[in-house]
Amino acid sequence: MKFAAFSGVFIDYSIQEALRMTRQLGLDGLEIAAREPHLSATMSAQRVKEIRSVADGYGLELPAIAGYMGGFSTGSDKECEQAYEEFCRFLPIAGELGASMLRVGAGGPNAFLAKDYHYAKAAYWLSRCAEEAAKQQVRVILEIHNISLVETAEDSLRLAELIGQPNLGFIHDAGNMYITDTDYGRDSVLALGKHLFHVHVKDEKRVDKAGAPGTFVNRTKHGEESFLQCRMGEGGADHGPLFEALHEIGYNEWITLECNAPFPAYERLEHDFRFVKDLIASTKAN
């Protein structure tokens, strides 16, 4: 497995500083959040080349661009066309950066509230994204995420079947799946199978109410719930079964650390990387 930081954790820093801290942490790469000041669809070719040059200087890979475009399931035709065009503008950027994966969003609502037409509309536009990405050998990734059409492994497979493009797959995110209150261990990994392209890890915890730093409110199948963003091992998401399953299937792709807990950015990623390495060592020992 190879490990990346999520640049969104370092969004208060320049992309150059984010790369420097990623190298200092001992990680293998940086998954770049597609938002300023790190990256945008309108960024000049020169700036993109500079990012690649700095990454090369630190010996870092840039495996994925985390795009925020999408929302196809509920967007108007004009909004969907604009999102698709933005996605397409990122494809040559991905090529310049050496990023083999580009994230896009299907849209909402929560899967348990979605209708067939939400999936059908999202599938149409995502299929177009995948077809265009295939021309440039880029894989399209959708994050399993609460308040979206893909909140569970089963939701993901439903959408994948409608799209039918081999270069489109999913990001397994145990933290998000904990929020949804769905399986995020062995069964989810095996169910995704060939559609598992990437993995994010972070921890969350259900709390009585929001308001403190790091807390937020989210709608789930249980109603309005409050959560606290945590460092790994300090929340409610048990990542042990996930890593056991990844070891079982021989997963050797990327793991991105994207902790949003209310601690300094470097400190929380340092903690989570140490936790993950210990977890992997324990998994291999067993």
Is residue 226 assigned to a domain? Answer: no
Q: What is the CATH number of the domain that holds 251?
A: 3.20.20.150
Domain count, the chain: 1
Residues 6+ apart with CB under 8 A from 55: 19, 29, 30, 61, 62, 97
Domain extent for 110:
2-203+236-285
What number is the average pLDDT over the span 86-111?
98
> Can you tell me the mean pLDDT for 90-118?
98
Whether 278 is covered by a domain: the verdict is: yes
Identify the sign of the CA torsion 10, 13, 19, 20.
negative
pLDDT digits (tens, 9 = 90+) for 35-47: 999 999 999 999 9
Where is 204: in which H helix or E strand? strand 203-207
Does the structure show a pLDDT above 90 at 284? no
What is the Cα 212 distance to its own chain's centre? 25
Q: Is residue 74 part of a domain?
A: yes
Does 213 fall in a domain? no
Structural domain contains residue 157: yes
In-domain check, residue 223: no
Q: Does residue 221 form part of some domain?
A: no
d(CA 47, CA 43): 7
pTM over the 0.85 mark: yes
Q: Residue 50 pLDDT > 90, yes or no?
A: yes
Residue 264 counted as domain residue: yes
C-alpha closest to that of 8 among 23, 27, 22: 22
The structure tokens listed for 251 are 């997963």
Tokens of 117: 């037409």
